[in-house]
Amino acid sequence: MNTDSVAARPEGSNPRTHWRNADAVLKQTAQALAGLYGASLGVFTLDCGGESLRVASQDGNPGDTIPDFPYSYALPIIGRDGGKIGLFTCYSNRPLRPREQDCPQVNQLLATAVLADENVRLNTESRELTAEIEKAKQLHLGFIRSVVHDLRSPFVAVSNMAQLLRIRCGEILDDQTNELISLTTGAIDRGLALLSSLSAYSLIGTTAVEPCPIQLTEAVGVALFHLDKAVRQCGAVITTDELPVIIGRRDDIEQVLIHIIQNALTFRGTNSPRVHISAIMSGEQWVVSVSDNGAGFDNRYASQIFEPFKRLGGNRFPGSGLGLAICKKIVELHQGSIWAESEPGKGSVFRFTLPAASQSAAAASHGARC
């Protein structure tokens, strides 16, 4: 009986797991070979790493014992990567001498069946992996929310007790004690702000919100609404050119604008802040620019300022050190990039790219909110 050696099974592999569709592979190939030779050839087996999976071409069932056939013909099974992954054997009562011109066709039949089986396996594994990733993501989100909640509670409790101390004992507290209470509540406020920023940074991209056409002018309006108090306090002037319609997640884009404008207000120079927002088309993207007349910074640090907790001004300025890192993460989530150009004493320009909306999407976005 003609036999052929089988390639060693990779350590840890499971042939029955790999050949999820083995019966269908063999039946499909057996039918094609029977058609090629004009008759039933007998029993076919599929051997992968020493474990045989078998099917009869006509009357038998998968798993039947192989009769004592006098003839056999073996073909190696070639996987997707070109390597030998098993052996296909045909057992018959008559000699099997495939014509030379038939061999490529027989091998092609096997290759087609194997690829179909591998596709079934890969699709199944892909679905299983996607489910595992989603499960891990939900665990991650739950952990973040739990940690933020548990850490926020003692901060709030200490803040409330400090305020209660001031209310009940205000008349007998000296100036130094009042100052200590103010420093305590201020530190607590910064801690709560840091928690909020950490939560926001960690949760970017975890919500199932589809990008949609956004009027950038409206997003700027929302950002200025949130920054209204800070803008009025420092007498800032915010101006814009005519702004385009971009594709993005609305809340994320508003957050980017809030952080960049807030950055301009925080690191202002000696004059009242002036911030200008514009955009130019570049290929299929809009390059949005936010320029200011603030204190500026050494351009050698232009990439560092987008890293978490990188604060060029140290603790002299308010903030969590995460605002620009949040901007970078959001812009990259939108397949864009963000950078800054500056010079000490001459202000800064922050630029970021966002996908452009098509003309029809831009027209449909007027008056609509996604």
Question: Are 290 and 273 within one domain?
Answer: yes
**Interatomic CA distance for residues 221 and 250, integer angstroms:** 12
The verdict on pTM exceeding 0.75 is no
Read off the pLDDT of residues 222-276 as tens digits, 9 standing for 90 and up. Answer: 999 999 999 999 899 999 999 999 999 998 999 999 999 998 998 887 888 999 9
pLDDT of 287: 95
Read off the pLDDT of residues 16-75 as tens digits, 9 standing for 90 and up. Answer: 444 455 556 556 666 666 555 544 455 555 555 444 445 444 444 444 455 566 766 666
According to DSSP, the β-strands at 245-248 and 84-92 are: unpaired
CA distances to 31, 117, 310, 365 from 104, in Å = 17, 20, 63, 57
State which of 84, 110, 127 marks the end of a domain. 127
Report the side by side order of strands in the sheet with 71-78: 51-56, 43-48, 84-92, 71-78
| Helix runs in 65-174, H state only | 103-169
Question: Are 352 and 267 within one domain?
Answer: yes
Question: Are 189 and 216 within one domain?
Answer: no
CA distances to 13, 153, 286, 314, 355 from 324, in Å = 47, 27, 19, 15, 20
Look at residue 9 and tell me if it is in a domain: no
| Percent of the chain whose predicted confidence (pLDDT) is above 70 | 62
Question: Are 107 and 23 within one domain?
Answer: yes
Question: Are 119 and 134 within one domain?
Answer: no
Question: Are 174 and 109 within one domain?
Answer: no
Q: What is the CATH number of the domain that holds 337?
A: 3.30.565.10
| Range of the structural domain that residue 59 is part of | 15-127
Question: Are 242 and 186 within one domain?
Answer: no
The more confidently predicted of residues 173 and 277 is: 277
Read off the pLDDT of residues 113-153 as tens digits, 9 standing for 90 and up. Answer: 666 666 777 788 888 888 888 888 778 777 777 777 777 78
Look at residue 2 and tell me if it is in a domain: no
Question: Are 144 and 253 within one domain?
Answer: no
Sign for the CA dihedral angle at 229, 227, 299, 241 comes to negative
CA distances to 48, 180, 189 from 158, in Å = 67, 13, 11
Question: Are 98 and 235 within one domain?
Answer: no
In degrees, rounded to 5, the angle at the alpha carbon of residue 25 between the alpha carbons of residues 23 and 29 is 115
Question: Are 302 and 159 within one domain?
Answer: no
Q: What is the CATH number of the domain that holds 106?
A: 3.30.450.40
